[in-house]
Structure 1
Amino acid sequence: MKVTRIFETVIYADDLGAAERFYSDVLGLEKYSGFGVAISFRTDFGVLLIFDPAQAILPGRDVPSHGARGPGHLAFAARGDELAAWREHLAAHGVAIEMEVNWQQGGTSIYFRDPAGNSIELAPPALWGGWVF
């Protein structure tokens, strides 16, 4: 047997309200639920969970405690023909682009930070083997 798909991706933010506004207003994700310790957003093929790290690490919850040190990283797929619009959209929301990388295998990634300092990437589908979206 083997797993074939990542179902949940977790990052951490001290201010869940700021995270919710960023992922809703800037990235256009629709909030799925909130349950005190975390908020969740559905994507086409999974769920993004953003946990309060101070609460997620506590023992005795309904799920095992977890956490991370320092900023996390996640990437959303973005086709090359969408990048100019994303640059304008991010600028309109006051989000600075930290770096752009032109990959040897083709395509460009745009990196920026969420309010918690997590590194967010808009990455070309060709980066990891050429998925079609």
Structure 2
Amino acid sequence: MEKLLDVSVPLKEMSPLALAFLGDGVFDLFVREFLVGQGNCPVKKLHARAVEVVKCEAQSRFIKEILLPIMTEEEQDVYRRGRNAKVNHVPKNAQLEDYHNATGLESLFGYLYLKGDIDRLREFFNKITAQL
């Protein structure tokens, strides 16, 4: 996988919520490709499985238990910026801490994608899927 567009952005100046916006889509694409790769099944089932992986409680667990211990200092900084970003709302069924952690994970995925570090994204996602 390579970046879909050759867009150059000043990564250090990007808002953590803008990174999370992109990272949400990147993470979702990884999940969808993973699920489709496991075999053909009804779309309703695929969607239900995807929701279980992309919901903020799961993302919070992935970042805390799997990724945080192997992240570089730079990656931890991006994660913390995303986690600490001021959000305007939290989904009604989500815990605030989980939502912030998930935003941090999505910021990290957006950052790595824009940086072009697809191999690191794959490494992180492979660690996550090994726990599913």
Q: TM-score with structure 1 length normalisation?
A: 0.26
Larger Rg: 1
The structure where helix makes up a greater share of residues is: 2
The structure where strand makes up a greater share of residues is: 1
